[in-house]
Chain A
Amino acid sequence: TQLLKQSPQFLSIQEGENLTVYCNSSSVFSSLQWYRQEPGEGPVLLVTVVTGGEVKKLKRLTFQFGDARKDSSLHITAAQTGDTGLYLCAGINNAGNMLTFGGGTRLMVKP
């Protein structure tokens, strides 16, 4: 049973389109992180959201943490081919030592 459910699992879009990836949980986490993983590499942290309702922007990426701190979304504006990759959300426990990952969303942006 996945504690963190990501949707969609796969997404294929054209360059220039917008997209949103969702990360939903029945549990409350102290904070939630989004990672991006390239083939043959480990996950690389993009952002950490801590406060319910928090919105963070990283260039064309917008991250939102739900008011109840159970769900989050990642929105990409005007996707580029360089955005292709596996996007992972991960919840962090109170002790701050354990990441609970979602199953990931594999994004392909076609030229």
Chain B
Amino acid sequence: EAGVTQFPSHSVIEKGQTVTLRCDPISGHDNLYWYRRVMGKEIKFLLHFVKESKQDESGMPNNRFLAERTGGTYSTLKVQPAELEDSGVYFCASSQLTGYTDTQYFGPGTRLTVL
């Protein structure tokens, strides 16, 4: 069974440009999460989808970030316009169920560098 995949693995853009990150969850997983780790800080929650609906987007830093999951399969996270402080590693995770004993499976991350 394929794990969570993310594309691209690396992205280098200039400040002010737009970048779109993609996440393909494990097949059959209704729950999809986005997290990010900026330099020197801990991994932080961004948002949670259940199928195509945003269940919790309390971690989204500002309105330059837009996440979508049309059709309830893969998800995209768009940053527009990108700022220097957006640099970091963006992780996607998926899970079959939501519960405090359930497992979130993480993808390898997309390393975003904003110059």
Contacts and interface: CB of A to CB of B under 8 A. Distances in A.
A96 B99 contact: yes
A33 B48 CA distance: 18
A78 to B, nearest CB: 27
B: interface residue count bin: 20 to 34
Interface stretch (B13-21, B78-86, B103-111): B103-111
Contacts, number: 64
B48 A2 contact: no
A102 B15 CA distance: 29
A: interface residue count bin: 20 to 34
Contacts of A102: 42
Interface string B31-60: 101010000011111001000000110110
A58 interface: no
A104 B42 CA distance: 7
Contact of A31 (B58, B100, B106): B100
Interface of B: 4, 31, 33, 35, 41-45, 48, 55-56, 58-59, 91, 93, 98-109
Interface of A: 2, 4, 30-31, 40-45, 48, 50, 88, 90, 92-104
